[in-house]
Chains A and B, each alone.
Chain A
Amino acid sequence: MSTDGWVPACEAGAIEAEDVICVKVAGRAFAVYRSPENTFHATDPLCTHERAQLADGLVMGDVIECPKHNGRFNYKTGKAVRVPAKVRLGTYAVKVQAGTVFIKLTDE
């Protein structure tokens, strides 16, 4: 990990617009999103309801839908916006430099 907490996660081109992938960084997994406006975002990888992999879900605008029970989160804010998701999703700062997506790690 770099001293300022930013770590490379994936190539920006690895994610299509309005899509999500799961990446592992420093032994931790993250869901990394590319919005329809080509901004990048990162959240915890698992739904807070029943811990399904969000990277298997569907991105619609600012929302990620869980593949298991169709609960939804705003992946930019982490807010749960549709039941059965009720608990906020952890979000992480992201930046893109030279075509690489970086995530700022925080203490778990």
Chain B
Amino acid sequence: MRANTGRDYSLIGPNGRRAAEQGLVAAEWYHADVPRKRMKELMRRRDGPALRDTAIWLVLLVGSGVGGGVLWASWACVPFFVVYGVLYGSASDSRWHETGHGTAFRAAWLNDVLYQVASFMNMKEPTFWRWSHARHHTDTIIVGRDREIAAMRPPDLLKLIVNVVGLRDAYDTVLSVLRHAAGRLTAEELTFIPDSERRRVYREARAWLLVYAAVVALAVAVGSLLPLMYVGLPTLYGRWLATVFGVSQHAGLAEDVLDHRLNARTIHMNPVFRFLYWNMNYHVEHHMFPMVPYHALPALHAEVVHDMPRPYRSLLAAYREIVPTLWRQLRDPDHYARRDLPAGARPFRPEMHPAVFEA
């Protein structure tokens, strides 16, 4: 395969400066028209749905964990740990995400508690990722600004593949936790983590090290891998579904546009996936209106569907676009999957991204 140079995604490189010069940084993004009264209804916070869903999640987590432990050392434990791993290493990602936005619960303390727990399970340092994700929402898929671009151009297929079991993310996290525990941030991290939050980043990294050290010590003391099957390893062996979901959000779509309809996907999914993913399959809607809680996203989707590109019928349908697009980007990094707006939908600032709107 022919090598090519691709784009520079560094947050301290020339593309970040170029994006600023082009007006792509902290810019105004397209929003579908939703009447204020209806938007207030959709934004309304409730504790009930997330309490119910969290209770179900925890019951399943404990049940599968107990089953795996009882049947440990026999093959019969495998299906239990498959379930436990997905609940721990994949479902925690959407819980981390929604509570990070502060929208899962009405009560702030419930968001904060679940955010800390889910961040740990998900191996996403809480304060570090809160600020990273704020940048992702400010400058979504803007090259040189957004550090959460999963598939860069050309895509690093090896990284994507090993990340199915979370290996690349875990490797990066181990390095960053050690760095933060030592009281250091990289030059890139300094661009999005404010001074006032840095001590918190360091404290959290040190606390994580203590917890992991305790679990490893317990495993050594009892002479069994079992403690690590509950804490630590499930972020790897249960990570695959979060990776499949996460890559589907933006991979292969336009970069450097100011319209989430062009750089994010809304995908119809079955109820089990939507429970595990907390409705983040409505990803265009989430980016357009991030203050709408996950449980109201289907209703928001119904409000704005007329103004959106056609949703993907399934996760498989999305990957039928993603895989060939990423494959072609290996040879042609300028290639991307273009989203067509429905007839009558309002294009937004086409002068900012003419290639998307040219016939």
Contact = CB atoms under 8 A, between A and B. Distances in A.
A95 interface: no
Nearest to A67: B291
B45 A60 contact: yes
Interface string B114-155: 000000000000000011001001100000000000000000
Interface in A15-37: 19
A65 B111 CA distance: 15
A70 interface: yes
Contact of A68 (B103, B138, B194, B196): B138
Contacts of A93: none
Contacts of B39: 56
Interface residues of B, number: 22
Given A58-B40, A84-B130, A70 B103 contact: yes
B138 A69 contact: yes
Nearest to B133: A69
Interface in A64-83: 65-70, 72, 82-83
Contacts of A70: 101-103, 290-291
A67 to B, nearest CB: 5
B192 to A, nearest CB: 10
Given A67-B290, A83-B130, A58 B137 contact: no
Interface in B175-212: 194, 196-197
A68 B316 CA distance: 31
A57 interface: yes
B108 interface: yes
A50 interface: yes
Contacts of B138: 50, 68-69
A50 B131 contact: no
Interface of B, secondary structure class, is: helix
Contact of B26 (A50, A58, A60): A50
B130 to A, nearest CB: 6
A83 B291 contact: no
A82 B134 contact: no
A57 B291 CA distance: 8
B43 interface: yes
A66 B43 CA distance: 11
A72 B101 CA distance: 11
Nearest to A18: B40
Contacts of A67: 289-291
Contacts of B289: 67
A82 B26 contact: no
Interface string B284-313: 000001110000000000000000000000
A69 B133 CA distance: 9
Nearest to A53: B28
A24 to B, nearest CB: 17
Given A51-B26, A82-B108, A86-B194, A19 B40 contact: yes
Contacts of B106: 60
Contacts of B40: 19, 58
Interface string B34-48: 000001100111000
Nearest to B103: A70
Given A50-B26, A70-B102, A82-B108, A65 B131 contact: no
A43 to B, nearest CB: 18
Contacts of A60: 45, 106
Interface string B48-60: 0000000000000
A51 B25 CA distance: 12
A41 to B, nearest CB: 18
Query: Nearest 3 pairs between A and B by C-beta?
Result: A58-B43, A84-B134, A70-B102
Interface of A: 19, 49-51, 56-58, 60, 65-70, 72, 82-84, 86
Given A58-B45, A86-B194, 15 more contacts: A19-B40, A49-B134, A57-B291, A58-B44, A65-B291, A67-B289, A67-B291, A68-B137, A69-B290, A70-B103, A82-B108, A83-B131, A83-B197, A84-B130, A84-B134
Interface of B: 26, 39-40, 43-45, 101-103, 106, 108, 130-131, 134, 137-138, 194, 196-197, 289-291
9 contacts: A19-B40, A50-B138, A51-B26, A57-B291, A69-B290, A70-B101, A70-B291, A82-B108, A84-B131
